[in-house]
Amino acid sequence: MKIAALQMVSSCSPEDNLERARRLIARAAAEGAQLVALPENFAFMGHDDRDKLALAEALGQGPAQQMLSEAAREHGVWLIGGSIAVATEDPERVGNTTLVYDPAGERVARYDKIHLFRFEEHTPTGSRLYDEALVLRAGATPTAVEVRLDDGAWRVGLSICYDLRFPELYRQLMVPPCDLIVVPSAFTWPTGHAHWELLLRARAVENQCYVMAPAQGGRHENGRRTWGHTLIADPWGELLAVHEEGEGLVCAELSRARLAEVRAKLPALAHRRLG
């Protein structure tokens, strides 16, 4: 299976972001990708976290979901919609939600980010507090989706950004084992510089599966700088592709033989005794 992870530098304009996402999806499909994933908050990066409240979409409605469905159907790909703000019954809270579409454009899975980011960023020009719990409602359900292709089914585990720091989530996703874990993200520059690659490769190694991490990467209209470095790693933790900064994409072929080889020569998943 050929996969593509897309990197964006999303702005405060949903219309512009959706058009940029469309173009990247089309480019990935043209390069032969069968599964395509967008980054966290691909449709909107506002000046303030509360800005997303007014743009939250009801499940099954809205321009971001329409674009995802149309693009999946037009290009005949499985499409993982990074994350968008989905409305809840609380007008002061939204879900940070991944939606997955099949090649017919049908929504087949939903995952709401479980772990909510909080971080104090200090720079020479000032400080900034990130606190997603002020606006987001945390999810509670680990979610995997079965991607069905001509060569059979691939089990894909879903997660979002800050989830990456909580290995217990991925252990739950590995029952039964996933073939691929997807981590759409918008890591801050300092946390990404320190921990991004380290954590992603660790998740690949300990779970003996592929990891794909589509990211926001660059300087945004709202003044924020995200780390980028969209990447794909194999089950041994080897980096297959990286796109460091700016809009772009990376592609890689997933191999069932490689999964089997790693799990056979070091059967760590079978050796688990806790959890």
- List residues bridging with 127 in a β-sheet: 122
pTM value > 0.75:
yes
Residue 189 has which token pair?
């520059």
Give me the catalytic one of 52, 57, 113, 132.
113
Q: According to the model, what pLDDT value does residue 56 have?
A: 98
Q: Which residue has the tokens 């743009």?
A: 55
Q: Please say if 40 is a catalytic residue.
A: yes
pLDDT at 261 over 90: yes
What tens digit of pLDDT does each residue of 132-152 get? 999 999 999 999 999 999 889
* DSSP string across 33-83: -SEEEPPTTTT---SSTTHHHHHPBPTT-SHHHHHHHHHHHHHT-EEE---
Residue 259 has which token pair?
């999964």
pLDDT at 129 over 90: no
What tens digit of pLDDT does each residue of 192-208 get? 999 999 999 999 999 99
Q: Please say if 113 is a catalytic residue.
A: yes
Spatial separation of the C-alpha atoms in residues 183 and 38, rounded to whole Å: 10
Q: According to the model, what pLDDT value does residue 274 have?
A: 87
Q: According to the model, what pLDDT value does residue 246 have?
A: 98
- List residues bridging with 185 in a β-sheet: 215
pLDDT at 127 over 90: no
Do 52 and 20 contact (CB within 8 A), yes or no? Answer: no
Give me the catalytic one of 132, 161, 178, 209.
161
CA–chain centroid gap for 205, Å, is: 18
> What angle, rounded to 10 degrees, do the helices at 14-30 and 63-75 form?
10
pLDDT at 275 over 80: no
Q: According to the model, what pLDDT value does residue 124 have?
A: 72
What tens digit of pLDDT does each residue of 171-180 get? 999 999 999 9
Spatial separation of the C-alpha atoms in residues 125 and 94, rounded to whole Å: 31
Q: According to the model, what pLDDT value does residue 101 have?
A: 99
Spatial separation of the C-alpha atoms in residues 275 and 269, rounded to whole Å: 12
Q: According to the model, what pLDDT value does residue 126 have?
A: 73
Mean pLDDT of 81-103: 98
* DSSP string across 116-170: PPEEEEEETTEEEEEEGGGTBPP----EEEEEEETTEEEEEEE--GGGGG-HHHH
Q: Which domains does the chain have, with CATH numbers?
A: 2-271 (3.60.110.10)
